[in-house]
């Protein structure tokens, strides 16, 4: 009896220590990752009800010592260190560079870029976006910024101000992972949002109780005047149910996995040829 606790405690300690060490190592490695060219973007198609591509979502990848580290692990680390501001601005630039090139052959293709709250709160953010749009001569409405619900929970005046400044240049806003946060409808209602992205968890369960929730979100979008994208569509069955609900845009492995840059261009050119 007596010996049990210290043992478990020691084990727990080891695991904690392991996690802590990994965090410290990754943090250290993240410091120079941008300079060492270890980051890249991949692009996942978003399609309309007919299956035609309408936009890409840019997703970050980090190759460190021959291994791909998930953004689920490294984005929070960069948010904690504040490094996300600089790296996020690189992401924006890189995505817009790709968008500008795509725009030449496919005039209406859009680019969705994930924006961390830390990055959005940064003083230089609005200017940063403006500068990039100008530098690459991109029509503002082709750039969609994805933010999470939690953005709208505090400092609503400042948020509203920034959102509308950016919307003046045409930039669109999407609420990412919609339905997973705590923000009430009233908050979203007061924001001038262009799209919500229904979180994958609802799509996964759409054959059970997810359907009524998705329908409710769809009804809401009609009355509140924003459009809807379903995330994480993996099967034909899910696609059919979403179509029945009238969901206008979908994204997920069923249509395409995220693509390396060159493959995204190839995808786009075959989509035009069809």
Q: What residues make contact with ligand C2E under the rule CB under 6 A?
A: 44, 59-60, 70-72, 75, 88, 91, 114, 116, 176-177, 200, 232-234, 252-253, 258
Q: Is residue 149 close enough to count as binding Ca ion by CB under 5 A? A: no
Neighbouring C-alpha atoms within 13 Å toward the C-beta of 57: 25
With respect to ligand C2E, which residue has the nearer C-beta, 8 or 40?
40
Is residue 176 near Ca ion by the rule CB under 5 A?
Answer: yes
Q: Rounded to 5, what percent of the chain is helix, strand, coil?
A: 55, 20, 25
- Select from 151, 43, 149 the least CA-distant residue to 102: 43
**Nearer Cβ to ligand C2E (188/232):** 232
Structure token pair of residue 217: 């979100």
Between 181 and 232, CB nearer to ligand C2E? 232
User: Closest distance between ligand C2E and the C-beta of residue 70, in Å?
Assistant: 5
In the list ligand C2E, Ca ion, none, the entry touching 132 (Cβ below 5 to 8 angstroms by class) is none
Per DSSP, the chain holds a count of helices (H) and strands (E) of 11, 10
Candidates 3-11, 18-26, 147-155, 227-235; binding stretch for Ca ion (CB under 5 A): 227-235
* CA-CA-CA-CA torsion sign (213, 218, 222, 228): positive
Dihedral angle over CA of 232, 236, 242, 244, nearest 10: 180
How long a stretch of residues is the chain? 274
| Cβ-based nearer residue to ligand C2E, 149 or 177 | 177
Q: How far apart are CA 234 and CA 58, in angstroms?
A: 19
**By CB under 5 A, is residue 177 in contact with Ca ion?**
yes
Residue pair 50/98 in contact (Cβ under 8 Å)? The answer is no
- Nearest distance in Å: CB 31, Ca ion: 25
Query: Whose Cβ is closer to ligand C2E: residue 88's or residue 210's?
Result: 88
Cβ at position 220, least distance to Ca ion in Å: 18
Q: Which of 94, 122, 146, 149 binds Ca ion (CB under 5 A)?
A: 146
User: What residues numbered 82-121 form the site for Ca ion, per CB under 5 A?
Assistant: 114
CB of 177 to ligand C2E, least distance (A): 6
Contact call for residues 242 and 206 (beta carbons, < 8 A): yes
**Within 10 A of 170 (CB to CB), how many other CB atoms are there?**
13
Nearer to ligand C2E, 157 or 171 (CB): 171
Do 213 and 241 form a contact (C-beta atoms < 8 A)? no
The binding site for Ca ion (CB under 5 A) comprises 114, 146, 176-177, 231
């Amino acid at each position: 009896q007596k010996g049990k606790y210290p043992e478990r405690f020691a084990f727990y300690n080891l695991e904690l220590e392991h996690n802590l060490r990994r965090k410290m190592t990754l943090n250290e490695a993240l410091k120079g990752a941008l300079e060492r060219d270890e980051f890249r973007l991949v692009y996942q198609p978003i399609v309309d009800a007919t299956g035609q591509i309408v936009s890409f979502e840019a997703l970050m990848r980090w190759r460190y010592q021959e291994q791909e580290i998930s953004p689920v692990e490294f984005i929070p680390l960069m948010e904690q260190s504040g490094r996300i501001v600089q790296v996020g601005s690189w992401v924006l630039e890189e995505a817009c560079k790709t968008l500008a090139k795509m725009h030449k052959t496919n005039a209406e293709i859009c680019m969705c870029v994930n924006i961390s709250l830390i990055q959005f709160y940064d003083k230089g953010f609005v200017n940063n976006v403006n500068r990039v749009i100008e530098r690459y001569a991109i029509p503002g409405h082709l750039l969609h910024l994805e933010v999470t619900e939690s953005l709208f929970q505090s400092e609503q005046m400042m948020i509203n101000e920034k959102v509308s400044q950016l919307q003046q240049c045409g930039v669109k806003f999407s609420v990412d992972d919609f339905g997973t946060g705590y923000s009430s409808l009233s908050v979203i209602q007061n924001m001038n949002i262009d799209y919500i992205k229904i979180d994958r968890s609802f799509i996964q369960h759409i054959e059970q109780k997810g359907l009524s929730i998705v329908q409710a979100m769809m009804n809401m979008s009609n009355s509140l005047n924003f459009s809807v994208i379903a995330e994480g569509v993996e099967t034909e069955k899910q696609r059919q149910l979403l179509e029945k609900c009238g969901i206008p845009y979908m994204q997920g492995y069923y249509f395409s996995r995220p693509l390396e840059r060159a493959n995204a261009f190839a995808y786009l050119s075959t989509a035009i040829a069809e």
